[in-house]
């Protein structure tokens, strides 16, 4: 049986969706394939997103910013939007069974010194980690009971 695909969407695909993708890949323990994309991709992964994930042992350095249309011809079991704009722009994907909307602040809009911006990135990372680890645990419990 092939692994179901979980697609995480945000507008720019530079911060939040990559944080969630990295965390869910680890927390999901190979139970599903995880990808991220954006409705208007920024074309890069934010360096501070890479930095705060490295702090918790997750490497995003090879991630790229992708458009959600790249997934329109692929079976996607679950779509999770992490910002309001992506939720509104989100199409229905082939095979889509589940859709969740869990919005988080965009750390890319943080202002101040690099250290002040890092505080915001870390807070959002930790909020995303709590939600996506709980989601992965729920999926694992569901699979055991099936």
How far apart are alpha carbons 33 and 40 in whole angstroms?
Answer: 22
Active site residue 90: yes
* Residue 30 DSSP SS3: coil
Active site residue 83: yes
- Active-site entry in 24, 82, 83, 128: 83
For the purposes of burial, counting CB atoms within 10 Å of the CB of 122, is it exposed (0-12), middle (13-18) or buried (19 or more)? middle
Beta bridge partners of 109: none
- Active-site entry in 9, 50, 76, 90: 90
Helix-strand-coil percent breakdown of the chain, rounded to 5? 45, 15, 40
The two tokens of residue 91 are: 């199409």
- Active-site entry in 10, 50, 53, 86: 10
Active site residue 15: no
Q: How many Cα atoms sit within 13 Å of 106 on the Cβ side?
A: 14
Active-site annotation, residues: 10, 83, 90
């Amino acid at each position: 049986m092939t692994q179901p695909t979980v697609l995480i969407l945000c507008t720019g695909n530079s911060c939040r969706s990559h944080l969630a993708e990295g965390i869910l890949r680890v927390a999901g323990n190979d139970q599903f394939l995880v990808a991220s994309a954006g409705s208007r991709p920024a074309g890069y992964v934010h360096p501070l997103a890479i930095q705060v994930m490295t702090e918790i042992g997750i490497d995003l350095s090879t991630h790229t910013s992708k458009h959600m249309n790249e997934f329109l011809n692929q079976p996607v079991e679950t779509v999770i939007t992490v910002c309001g704009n992506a939720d509104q722009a989100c199409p229905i994907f082939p095979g889509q069974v589940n859709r969740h909307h869990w919005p988080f602040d965009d750390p890319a809009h943080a202002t101040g010194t690099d250290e002040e911006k890092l505080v915001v990135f870390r807070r959002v990372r930790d909020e995303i980690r709590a939600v996506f680890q709980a989601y992965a645990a729920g999926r694992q419990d569901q699979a055991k009971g099936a």
